[in-house]
Amino acid sequence: MSGVSSMSKVMRSLGIFGIGGKGATALSAQRPEVLRRKTIANNARLMIAASMVLMPLAMWALIGKSALGFALACVGLTGGMLSLALYHRGRHDDAALAQVVSIIGAGVVLTLVDSRLADMGLTVTLMGPILAALLADKTIRLWSWLSVGGVLLFGAIGSWLSVPTDAALANEAMIAGTFAFGVAVALVAHTTHTINAGYVVHDKAQINTYRHLVDNVQDTVLSFSAEGDILSASPSAEALFGSPRYQLSSASLGERIHVMDRPAYLTAFADANYAGRSRTIEVRMRRDDPHGARGLPLFIWVEVRFSPLKEQTGNGRFEVTALMRDITERKDAEASMAEAKRSAEEALQAKSRFLATIGHELRTPLNAVVGFSEMMTTGIGGELSPTHREYAGLIHQSGKHLLDVVGMLLDMSRIEAGKFEIITARFQPDEIVPACFAMVESMAKGRSITLLAEIEPDLPSLLADERACRQILINLLSNAIKFSHEGDTVTLVVKRQGQSLSFAVRDQGIGMAPVALERIGEPFFQAQDGLNRQYEGTGLGLSIVKGLAELHGGTLRAMSEIGAGTTMTVLLPINGPATKLEETVAVLPLHRETASTPKTSWQNEKRKAQ
């Protein structure tokens, strides 16, 4: 409930900016623009009222053959009614213009009656630009001052020519001008008072809103003077530092900062205080225990953003506002993630070392098993019975299968560890196809599968590791044969595709689902998992293909449909992998040029010192 009430208070405070419901609407009426419009309407009513009050006197003077007062009353009444009508139609700028024109028009009438330079006409006319400065835009203000200039010019010409003025008419102009000047002064005074009061209310509301936000925001807000002294602190500072606000000072705040973070803190504060630049840093600060339960100080991570005030003080420095936020949980999470990443990397390295070790340990006895079983099947050690020959063949076949698995494990571990080195050289890509077909020919014949090759003529030479490319093709062909139906056809397509060479192996086998396609290239992944899967394999073939392709700067792509077959495509750049900067050697210059005299750069020296 306290959170809801504080939020409602904030919304009520924000009503000054036009946000919220009825309360916000009431407060928004105090905004300067709304007050300006309201002042225009009140001025129009004031002009109408003053003209109506003066109209009987003007009509009495008109009977006495004095039309000046009646003319001024008509000007004021017409201007006020026109301004009020424009206001009700929403044309507020035109309504303000009508009032300015009425005042200047009254001044022009008085100037025409009394052509002297210093008369009531000029005095009344000067009220027009003043009212325009309070209510109108730039164009109307400029036009009003030009009108004053015209009145001054007319009066100057009249004074220079010594145009005679009737004494009775001048006296009447003085009396009527005094009434007109009083009405103009009343309009200007009313406008100034209303708008000034509106700005005062608006500023107070903004200050109250700012104070309320500072008092209720969770982050700590500190205000520093230009000399670096703490001027104010928000209530949340007590929870952040674990001490009352009145105990905070510049010296105590500096002592709370961790010794290793004080240079960064002072540099950031100086940038805001002297240079007027906003800075955000992360430092460790001491939080006190108000109950004294802990014997050791507790340091927390705090994000500090220094923002200088726009107004610069007399000594060339800026006042600074600091926004502080406790980010200890985020830092702990980052540390936990870093530790988890380090543990995962160590586990990956341990796995790679284990695979490499166990692979080497298994390869030696497996070579002996494969070699001796092959000797037994060939009869080198003596003739075997048919049963023993069959057993020796099974041993030989199983040993080769295990040897292939160990080889793939070693290749995968070297690729993951980044120790698989490729040696690039130029060769024709079509020359490695027959050798790769020969390696999988026995496997294809065992399942009555036909191997076809579609090679584009005039292929460019490829800059790559020939041994790795052979392994890529053998793995792709073996995989296609394994998942094909008996009697199907496996096709190898080699062609140029832009700046790359495409090796595509297409089969007519069981295909894969879209979910399985997204995981192509993951180590040990197989579309059919479980111990009762139909097809044998370790799931390393395509991961090795992907790793070797990426070592060349290429990619592995797959297209498949269940029951319609699969097409695996490897794209290798024709000009080989991109050269890394660390693999290039330094170039030895053959001659030395005269070295220019080095110029001392204080900025560079300062940057090095920092």
Domain count along the chain: 4
Tell me if 585 is assigned to some domain. no
Tell me if 596 is assigned to some domain. no
Tens of pLDDT, residues 461-507: 999 888 888 888 888 888 888 888 888 889 999 999 888 899 999 88
Can you give 489-512 as a three-state secondary structure string? EEEEEEEEECCEEEEEEECCCCCC
Give yes or no for a contact between 203 and 211, defined as CB atoms under 8 angstroms apart.
no
Give yes or no for a contact between 44 and 85, defined as CB atoms under 8 angstroms apart.
no
Tell me what the mean pLDDT of segment 40-52 comes to: 83
Q: What is the pLDDT of residue 215?
A: 67
**Where is mean pLDDT largest: 25-29, 215-219, 374-378, 575-579?**
374-378
Q: What is the pLDDT of residue 603?
A: 40
Q: What is the CATH number of the domain that holds 509?
A: 3.30.565.10
Q: What is the pLDDT of residue 306?
A: 94
Tell me what the mean pLDDT of segment 310-332 comes to: 84
Q: What is the pLDDT of residue 471?
A: 84
Instruction: Look up the domain containing 531 and give its range.
Output: 425-580
Tell me if 171 is assigned to some domain. yes
Tell me if 511 is assigned to some domain. yes
In a shared domain, residues 68 and 204:
yes
In a shared domain, residues 391 and 447:
no
Q: Which of 205, 210, 202 is nearest to 36 (CA)?
A: 202
Which of 212, 236, 251 marks a domain boundary?
212
Candidate from 78-87, 400-409, 450-459 with smallest mean pLDDT: 400-409
In a shared domain, residues 314 and 350:
no
In a shared domain, residues 247 and 349:
no
pLDDT class of 303 with cuts at 50, 70, 90: very high
Give yes or no for a contact between 547 and 415, defined as CB atoms under 8 angstroms apart.
yes
Q: What is the pLDDT of residue 13?
A: 37
CA 88, CA 100: separation in Å to the nearest integer? Answer: 18
Instruction: Provide the token pair at 554.
Output: 């290429």
3-state secondary structure of 563: coil
- For tokens 């998992």, what's the residue? 529
| DSSP secondary structure letters along 5-33 | HHHHHHHHHGGGGT-SSHHHHHHHTTSHH
In a shared domain, residues 526 and 431:
yes
Which of 279, 298, 326 marks a domain boundary?
326
pLDDT cut 70: percent of the chain above it = 71
| DSSP secondary structure letters along 439-486 | HHHHHHHHTT-EEEEEE-SSPPPEEE-HHHHHHHHHHHHHHHHHTSPT
Higher pLDDT, 340 or 184: 340
In a shared domain, residues 80 and 48:
yes
Tell me what the mean pLDDT of segment 9-17 comes to: 36
Q: How many CB atoms lie within 10 A of CB 52?
A: 13
Tell me what the mean pLDDT of segment 501-514 comes to: 84
In a shared domain, residues 572 and 470:
yes
DSSP state of 257: B
Q: What is the CATH number of the domain that holds 287?
A: 3.30.450.20
CA 492, CA 499: separation in Å to the nearest integer? Answer: 20
Tens of pLDDT, residues 71-97: 777 887 888 888 888 888 888 888 888
Q: What is the pLDDT of residue 529?
A: 47
Q: What is the CATH number of the domain that holds 410?
A: 1.10.287
In a shared domain, residues 405 and 506:
no
For residue 609, pLDDT over 60 is answered with: no
In a shared domain, residues 180 and 48:
yes
Q: What is the pLDDT of residue 510?
A: 80
Give yes or no for a contact between 42 and 29, defined as CB atoms under 8 angstroms apart.
no
In a shared domain, residues 278 and 208:
no
Backbone angles phi, psi at 5, to 5 degrees: -65, -40
CA distances, 559 to each of 54, 160, 507, 526, 592 (Å): 95, 100, 11, 16, 58
Tell me if 457 is assigned to some domain. yes
pLDDT cut 90: percent of the chain above it = 10
Label residue 270 left, alpha or beta by phi (over 0 means left) and psi (-120 to 50 means alpha).
Answer: alpha
Give yes or no for a contact between 12 and 21, defined as CB atoms under 8 angstroms apart.
no
Tell me if 258 is assigned to some domain. yes
3-state secondary structure of 163: coil
| Mean pLDDT taken over the chain | 75
Cα dihedral sign, 528-569-447-471: negative
Instruction: Provide the token pair at 230.
Output: 């703490």
CA 398, CA 342: separation in Å to the nearest integer? Answer: 39
For residue 197, pLDDT over 90 is answered with: no
| DSSP secondary structure letters along 402-430 | HHHHHHHHHHHHHHHTT------EEE-GG
Tell me if 264 is assigned to some domain. yes
Candidate from 290-299, 381-390, 439-448 with smallest mean pLDDT: 290-299
Q: What is the pLDDT of residue 403?
A: 72
In a shared domain, residues 348 and 454:
no
CA 269, CA 282: separation in Å to the nearest integer? Answer: 13
For residue 22, pLDDT over 50 is answered with: no
Cβ neighbours of residue 461 closer than 8 Å, sequence gap 6 or more:
426, 427, 428, 429, 574
Cβ neighbours of residue 312 closer than 8 Å, sequence gap 6 or more:
276, 318
Candidate from 84-98, 131-145, 169-183 with smallest mean pLDDT: 169-183
CA 282, CA 185: separation in Å to the nearest integer? Answer: 59
pLDDT class of 155 with cuts at 50, 70, 90: low
Q: How many CB atoms lie within 10 A of CB 87?
A: 23
Q: What is the pLDDT of residue 183?
A: 81
Tell me if 393 is assigned to some domain. yes
3-state secondary structure of 240: helix
Tell me what the mean pLDDT of segment 172-180 comes to: 72
Tens of pLDDT, residues 352-383: 777 777 777 777 787 787 777 878 877 776 77
Q: What is the pLDDT of residue 523?
A: 57
Give yes or no for a contact between 220 and 303, defined as CB atoms under 8 angstroms apart.
no
In a shared domain, residues 133 and 237:
no
For residue 211, pLDDT over 50 is answered with: yes
Which of 395, 416, 437 marks a domain boundary?
416
Candidate from 6-10, 140-144, 152-156, 373-377 with smallest mean pLDDT: 6-10
First and final CA of the chain: distance in angstroms? 51
Q: How many helices (H) and strands (E) does the chain have?
A: 18, 12
pTM of the predicted structure, to 2 decimals: 0.44
Give yes or no for a contact between 430 and 455, defined as CB atoms under 8 angstroms apart.
yes
Tens of pLDDT, residues 247-275: 888 888 888 899 999 999 999 999 999 88
